[in-house]
Amino acid sequence: MADANLAIVVLAAGAGTRMKSATPKLLHKLAGVTIVSHVLATARQLAAAHVVAVVRHERDRLVEVIEVDLPEALIVDQDDVPGTGRAVELAVAALPASFAGEVLVLNGDVPLLDSDTLTRMIARHRQGSAGATLMTTSLDDPSGYGRIVRGNSGTLEAIVEHQDASADVLALSEVNAGIYLFSGAHLRESVGKLSTDNAQGEKYITDVVGLLRESGATVEAWEVSHSWKVEGINDRAQLAAAAARLNALIVRGWQLEGVTVIDPASTWIDLQVQLAPDVEIRPGSQILGATVIGPGAMIGPDTTLLDCEVGAGSTVKRTDATLSVIGENASVGPFSYLRPGTYLGDDGKIGTFVETKNARIGTGSKVPHLSYVGDATIGEQSNIGAGTIFANYDGVTKNSTDIGSHVRSGSHNVFVAPVSIGDGAYTGAGAVIRKDVPAGSMALSVAPQRNMDGWVEKNRPGTAAAEAAKDSLGK
């Protein structure tokens, strides 16, 4: 049920210069999700009657994300007048004139704030009679934030931006979190009066506090004790800190759901990942994107899985895999590289120093050692000999290799695609397979071996090899 009296404004128009990035600040990710997507998800949970997103810098890239995450959001373009105050002014003007509820303003760069905390702040505001309630927190290092200035009786007097603050004010540790709840009527009235008369030449939303007080309204400060929830992201150090914090929460959440994570500090799990009970994740592993892992699977150490599926009971060690599916009770690694389109059936194996791409390896089939399998299908219960290369590229086109079930291929084969090997066929060691092999055949392609007796003694006389040969032959 939508809250008819709530409108949310998401501020997403800033340039994010402190990131020093070609990517807009709000599109940097933590836990696999962009900063702005975290904020939009929170906005969605609050079920407001209206959501307005204000954009300007790289607006098309932002809008693309907003339209996927929150299609009902109204997009408002900020003009040349800079500052959070101008952004709110334009957002409020875009709300229906009939809207008479509260306006919740969310800084777009505060990704860890959860909807439960906001719900509590909204309830608190609605119980009282303040013209606005704003969220604050106390920080050991408040630098960069607007400071909360309180009067003798503790009432909120003003927010002073870091750049505009005196030494006394800079020493205050209580800061503005950039999250505000205004009564719509009060906001409409005061936001038009903002000026750009400050160190940054911007309209500050924070100056609304002073304007509201001048008009006789009270402004409440609502302090959050878990300050990490409201930390803003301005630079990459803050991004890394917030990402680590979120990751710790995600890891702990899965631990409480029955997942063993041996070393939370070196384990990274994205927000959308799904893990079953009794999954074990060993140190140095990244479980990313939309990866899904089944019960009892053992992942790591040192494994990266992006958008993969791993079946129950499988083990995946020291592996890098993307867009791949691993069946149940299968074994992958150590040192395997699974590129997109790899499918490994139940009880199958992709072993040490094996690279696969667009390859379907059937139930119980194994590629145990030192091989490249690209653009291939392998049936069930087949074994690919060590050091085999699927030569899928002739310099012009990619071709595929089709290997049947119960095939035994010799070591060090080259399958020159397109080629197919019938069910139950064998190939000899070192074979270069250019022609199809019928079911049940043995394919050999190497010249017969010739031994030239006495070659070493004759051509390398006096060497250690020649002496060893002489001794061995009893000469």
Summarize as ranges the residues that interact with ligand UD1 (CB under 6 A): 11-14, 54, 78, 82-84, 86-87, 107-110, 145-146, 159, 161, 175-178, 204-206, 232, 234
Reading the block at residue 222, the tokens are 């609502």
CB of 119 to Ca ion, least distance (A): 23
To the nearest whole angstrom, how small is the minimum distance from the Cβ of residue 313 to ligand UD1?
45
Of 66-74, 109-117, 299-307, 384-392, which segment contacts Ca ion by CB under 5 A? 109-117
> Should residue 82 be labelled a site residue for Ca ion when binding is judged by CB under 5 A?
no
Closest residue by Cα to residue 233 from 144, 339, 101: 144
Give the nearest distance from C-beta 40 to ligand UD1 in angstroms: 12
- Asked whether position 328 contacts Ca ion by CB under 5 A, the answer is no
From the list 90-98, 225-233, 291-299, 345-353, the region that binds Ca ion by CB under 5 A is 225-233
162 is catalytic: no
336, with CB counted inside 10 A (0-12, 13-18, 19+), is buried
The answer to the question of residue 232 lying near Ca ion (CB under 5 A) is yes
Q: What are the phi and psi torsion angles at 239 (to 5°)?
A: -60, -45
Phi, psi of 136 (to 5 degrees): -130, 165
Query: CB of 61: closest distance to Ca ion in angstroms?
Result: 19
161 vs 355 by CB, closer to Ca ion: 161
| Residue of 38, 57, 162, 369 marked catalytic | 369
Report the residue number whose CB is nearest to ligand UD1: 146
- The residue with its CB nearest to Ca ion is 232
161 interacts with, out of Ca ion, ligand UD1, none, CB within 5 to 8 A per kind: ligand UD1
| Packing angle of the helix pair 84-94, 184-191 (nearest 10 deg) | 120
Tokens of residue 20, six digits? 């020093």
**Quick one: what does residue 84 bind among Ca ion, ligand UD1, none, with the CB cut-off 5 to 8 Å set by partner type?**
ligand UD1
Query: Which of residues 58, 69, 89, 109 is near Ca ion by CB under 5 A?
Result: 109
Rounded Cα–Cα distance for residues 339 and 10 (Å): 38
CB nearer to Ca ion: pick between 233 and 299? 233
Minimum distance from CB of 146 to ligand UD1 (Å)? Answer: 2
Residues 128-155 as b or e (16 or more Cβ within 10 Å = b):
eebbbbbbbbebeebeebbbbbeeeeee
Residue ranges in contact with Ca ion by CB under 5 A: 109, 232, 234
Task: Give the residue numbers annotated as catalytic, written as ranges.
Answer: 369
